[in-house]
């Protein structure tokens, strides 16, 4: 295991104090799935046709949340760093990429089939001494390796010469573009190339909502270092990544580091650590960190005939850099962030469900609510405030039902601030700002709202 100091606060990064575990009932997957569907975060794919396994569609609020997660990652992994640049490569690529990287041969999972009911399982995820969970019998087939890359054909003829693959990870194009990016951006070692994009894996079994998908999205960074500097870079990124999760509201005590033993590691990896999270269905990988050595650059170099090296001006040496790779799934991060945010608080009217998203991640930042809908002047003033904020922030306007119900609706989607426009607003141009977490209400001049919210969005935040 990793030494415990890895979990300590890094210098220079403000990290909120560990959050107390909420005293209310723990969130279940059923509750979260139901909220996600009801409030427009996540929908089952092709539901009107009975669904489609391993794919989910993101609704209006899910789309905003994902976009905020990706922006937060890009901000901290690319924009805030002078040593990292971005890339956006194709999902399709020459099949020679996958031959060179070893995916055609090795990107496999062990599959076992129940001979009685034909249900298929990943052999490393079930106990083969037990009976089939589907039919209750015990008649297992031989275990065979199943390649999980999706195959397709490029061009009008479906023959072996036109076979191509949907990328099962985003990083290979970072290796094939290594020289081009390094040359164009004149980067010196150590430096990183980051990419966010879709990846596809024909998983044998899918499930646990958006945890294991066949179509998903990854945020990957390949950090190139001089050989010999790889072990220290690995430690630095591990600490950085754990702290990044905590900064965005994931409780430290729910995160665990799993060091892959030698016999379980991918053949190319010198060291692999999974950052695991305590999901309701068990502790599982959220974020993988691997020391991929110089394996990928060397393979692509051999296979293509192009030198994928770095030239050290100072020493006049050619080096093949080592690569440290933090690889995070957007969908798993979204699931984690939603599970962390969910809270049910008993109150006088029953249960108040509130999503404590970090304000920068919240799909809607501000809701503007006229106290009463029938008052034309209040509605007009509220629309003016709404118009002044939208475009700058994600804002909703809501005038239906009682203000208490409207607060509840916003709490359930995690809107950090509600602006209520009332009679006093028409007299002195002040409004009430209600805070989602503390439920405190303070009055502010309407013209100061945008500055106030932008100031709050820049501040560190910790889950109540
Ligand atoms: P697992 O052991 O869960 O199959 P893995 O070790 O194959 O995962 P990696 O290849 O390390 O996963 O992928 C990096 C990250 O991409 C994972 O940590 C996860 O966040 C995400 N990811 C991988 N496979 C899936 C999937 N099928 N659905 C959703 N996210 C995924």
- Does the pLDDT at position 285 exceed 70? yes
Residue 328, pLDDT > 90, answer yes
Instruction: Tell me what the mean pLDDT of segment 305-325 comes to.
Output: 95
Q: What is the pLDDT of residue 432?
A: 98
What is the average per-residue pLDDT within 12-41? 73
Distance 168 CA to ligand 1 centre (A): 10
Q: Please tell me the predicted confidence (pLDDT) of residue 310.
A: 96
Residue 13's pLDDT is 36
Residues 292-301 have pLDDT tens digits of: 999 999 999 9
Sign of torsion over alpha carbons 290, 296, 198, 177: positive
The Cα 300–Cα 320 span in angstroms is 12
Report the chain's mean pLDDT, rounded to a whole number: 93
Please, what are the domains in the chain? 4-102+152-339 (3.30.930.10), 108-147 (no CATH), 364-458 (3.40.50.800)
Q: For residue 232, what pLDDT band results from cuts at 50, 70 and 90? A: very high
62 burial via Cβ count (<10 Å: 0-12, 13-18, 19+): buried
Distance 333 CA to ligand 1 centre (A): 11
109 lines ligand 1 (CB under 6 A): no
Going from the Cα of 340 to the center of ligand 1, the distance in angstroms, rounded, reads 20
Q: What confidence score (pLDDT) does residue 83 get? A: 98
Residue by residue, DSSP assigns 359-422 as TTT-S--EEEEES-SS-HHHHHHHHHHHHHHBTTB-EEE--SS-HHHHHHHHHHHT-SEEEEE-
Amino acid 24: pLDDT? 66
Find the mean pLDDT for residues 146-152. Answer: 96
| Interval 1-27 mean pLDDT | 44
Across the range 178-188, mean pLDDT stands at 97
Q: Which atom of ligand 1 is nearest to the CA of 213?
A: 28
| pLDDT at residue 339 tops 70 | yes
pLDDT digits (tens, 9 = 90+) for 217-229: 999 999 999 999 9
C-beta 276 within 6 A of ligand 1 = no
Residue 347 has a pLDDT of 85
DSSP reduced 3-state for 464: coil
Average pLDDT over every residue of 116-133 = 94
Evaluate: CB of 326 within 6 angstroms of ligand 1: no
In short, whether 336's Cβ falls inside 6 Å of ligand 1 is: no
Cα dist from 102 to 165, 166, 167, 281, whole Å:
13, 15, 13, 32
What mean pLDDT do residues 92-113 have?
96
């Amino acid at each position: 295991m990793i030494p415990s100091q890895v979990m300590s606060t890094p210098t220079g990064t403000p990290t909120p104090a560990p959050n107390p575990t909420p005293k209310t009932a723990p969130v279940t997957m059923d509750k979260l799935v139901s909220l996600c569907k009801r409030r427009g975060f996540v929908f089952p794919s092709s539901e009107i046709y009975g669904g489609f396994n391993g794919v989910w569609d993101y609704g209006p609020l899910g789309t905003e949340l994902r976009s905020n997660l990706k922006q937060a990652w890009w901000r901290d992994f690319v924009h805030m760093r002078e040593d990292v640049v971005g890339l956006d490569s194709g999902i399709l690529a020459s099949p020679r990429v996958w031959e060179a990287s070893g995916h055609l041969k090795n990107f496999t999972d062990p599959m076992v089939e129940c001979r009685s009911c034909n249900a298929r399982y990943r052999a490393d995820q079930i106990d083969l001494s037990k009976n089939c969970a589907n039919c209750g019998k015990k008649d297992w087939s031989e275990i065979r390796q199943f390649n999980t890359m999706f195959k397709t054909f490029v061009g009008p003829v479906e023959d072996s010469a036109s076979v191509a693959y949907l990328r099962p990870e985003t990083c290979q194009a970072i290796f094939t573009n290594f020289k081009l990016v390094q040359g164009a951006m004149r980067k010196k070692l150590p430096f990183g190339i980051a990419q966010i994009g879709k990846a596809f894996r024909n998983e044998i079994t899918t499930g646990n909502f958006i945890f294991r998908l066949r179509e998903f999205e990854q945020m990957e960074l390949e950090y190139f270092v001089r050989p010999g500097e790889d072990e220290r870079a690995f430690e630095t990124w591990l600490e950085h990544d754990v702290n990044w999760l905590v900064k965005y509201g994931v409780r430290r005590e729910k995160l665990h580091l799993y060091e892959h033993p030698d016999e379980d590691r991918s053949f190319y990896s010198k060291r692999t650590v999974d950052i695991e999270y305590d999901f309701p269905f068990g502790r599982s990988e959220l974020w993988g960190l691997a020391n991929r050595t110089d394996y990928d650059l060397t393979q692509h170099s051999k296979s293509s005939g192009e030198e994928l090296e770095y030239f050290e001006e100072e020493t006049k040496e050619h080096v093949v850099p080592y690569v440290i790779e933090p690889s995070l799934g957007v969908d798993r991060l979204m699931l984690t962030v939603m599970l962390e945010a969910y809270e049910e608080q008993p109150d006088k009217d029953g249960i108040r469900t509130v999503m404590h998203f970090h304000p920068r991640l919240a799909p809607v930042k501000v809701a503007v609510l006229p106290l009463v809908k029938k008052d034309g002047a209040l509605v007009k003033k509220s629309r003016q405030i709404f118009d002044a904020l939208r475009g700058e922030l994600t804002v909703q306007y809501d005038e239906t039902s009682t203000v208490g119900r409207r607060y509840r609706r916003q709490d359930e989607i995690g809107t950090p601030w509600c602006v209520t426009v009332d009679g006093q607003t028409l007299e002195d141009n002040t409004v009430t700002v209600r805070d989602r977490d503390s439920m405190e209400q303070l009055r502010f001049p309407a013209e100061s709202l945008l500055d106030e919210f932008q100031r709050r969005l820049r501040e560190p935040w910790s889950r109540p």
